[in-house]
Amino acid sequence: MEKKDNKLVNILRNQSQLIILILLVIVFSVTTPSFRTTGNFLNLLKQVTVIGVISCGMTLVVISGCLDLSVGSVFSLLNLVSISLQINNNFLGVIMPLVIAVFIGFFNGFIVTKFKVNSIIVTLGSLSLFSGLAQLVTNGAIISGVTGTWYGFIGREKLLGIPVHVYVFFIVAIISQVLLSNTAFGRKIKYVGTNDSAAEIAGIKSGRVRTIAFIISSLFVAIAALIYSSRMTTASPVAGAGYEFDAITAVVIGGTSLAGGKGSIFKTIIGVLLLALIVNILTLYNVMYSFQNIVKGILIIIAIIIDIRVRRRIEA
């Protein structure tokens, strides 16, 4: 009997976010008729794919002990690259963003690890760098691509009644979770995030591990940008503005520690859904858009406080 109690307490403690998510869904299903429609749930799922894919990559970077603030402007840049190439050649429009993403991820990772500098400051710099570059590509203008080709498959088609990009999100999430919990690389990310000098001594090349995490994160940003481009067939130099905070908020309120070393993709997905749910509710109740930022800011701080509290209790 006592054992059972402990188990329940453990679940409550480890999966508190999941429980909050379920409770919120139940509460709002009861109180808000417009919330419990299938259309709204599908809408919710459609809205989270882009930020969800970005958050999966961000989780890997955060677990490795870094942070990537440039994902938003990289998203805008790749969105523009994809659409401007897609006008002439669908194939290039898909391949080039992925290729460029590898270089961008390498650039961020290389500078952070080679010179051992704070990743927040570096990626704050690359945020400006890529945002300027994105605006330069089209001189700040919004461009439209060509609709009606296979390019729109990911964003606009449905399989078994569910949009294709929702499947893409699930595939990305499963791949990242497997990568994190079932491969040597996943273990290395956690070691490096927990204590990089100890990991070095154990023979792990921490710089290389972090750089790969940055590259994977950028690749996921490229996939997210492709989903968006495919769905909208337009590109704007500010398409991804603020996505870095959404992704970080999702990762943090999911329960992945900003200190690195711990976390999971599952937690991040809960975080993404939690965030989307709160935004969805605010929208349904016609709360001003700006209050979303207020709520997000408060959520980030609360999540950091909880994270540090829990870690101190474990250490003590």
Residues 283-312 that bind other proteins (CB under 8 A): 288-298, 300-301, 304-305, 308
As given in the structure block, the two tokens for residue 67 are 């942070």
* Interface residue with other proteins, options 129, 175, 284, 310 (CB under 8 A): 129
Residue 1: CB minimum distance to other proteins, A: 37
- Residue 209 · residue 14 · CB < 8 Å: no
Q: 143 pairs with which residues across the strands?
A: 235
Q: Could you give the 3-state DSSP secondary structure of residue 287? A: coil
Which CB atom, from 175 or from 258, has the smaller least distance to other proteins? 258
Which CB atom, from 88 or from 290, has the smaller least distance to other proteins? 290
Which H or E run contains 119?
A: helix 119-138
Which CB atom, from 15 or from 195, has the smaller least distance to other proteins? 195
CA-closest candidate to residue 131, choices 234, 248, 237, 223: 237
- Rounded (10°) CA dihedral 167, 27, 264, 240: 60
Residue 147: CB minimum distance to other proteins, A: 28
For residues 291 and 22, give the distance between their C-alpha atoms in angstroms, rounded to a whole number.
23
- Cα–Cα–Cα angle for 103, 176, 82, rounded to 5 degrees: 40
Which CB atom, from 27 or from 298, has the smaller least distance to other proteins? 298
Residue 193: CB minimum distance to other proteins, A: 15
Please count the CA atoms within 13 angstroms of the CA of 84 that sit on its side-chain side: 19
Farthest CA pair distance, the chain: 68
Which H or E run contains 143?
A: strand 143-144
Residue 58: CB minimum distance to other proteins, A: 13
Residue 301: CB minimum distance to other proteins, A: 4
Please count the CA atoms within 13 angstroms of the CA of 85 that sit on its side-chain side: 20
For residues 56 and 266, give the distance between their C-alpha atoms in angstroms, rounded to a whole number.
9
Which CB atom, from 187 or from 262, has the smaller least distance to other proteins? 262
* Interface residue with other proteins, options 124, 175, 282, 284 (CB under 8 A): 124
* Interface residue with other proteins, options 28, 35, 75, 130 (CB under 8 A): 130
Residues 33-92 that bind other proteins (CB under 8 A): none
x/- string (CB under 8 A) for other proteins, residues 198-237? ----------------------------------------
Residue 245: CB minimum distance to other proteins, A: 5
Binding-site ranges for other proteins (CB under 8 A): 111, 115-118, 120-122, 124-133, 135-136, 139-140, 245, 248-249, 258, 288-298, 300-301, 304-305, 308
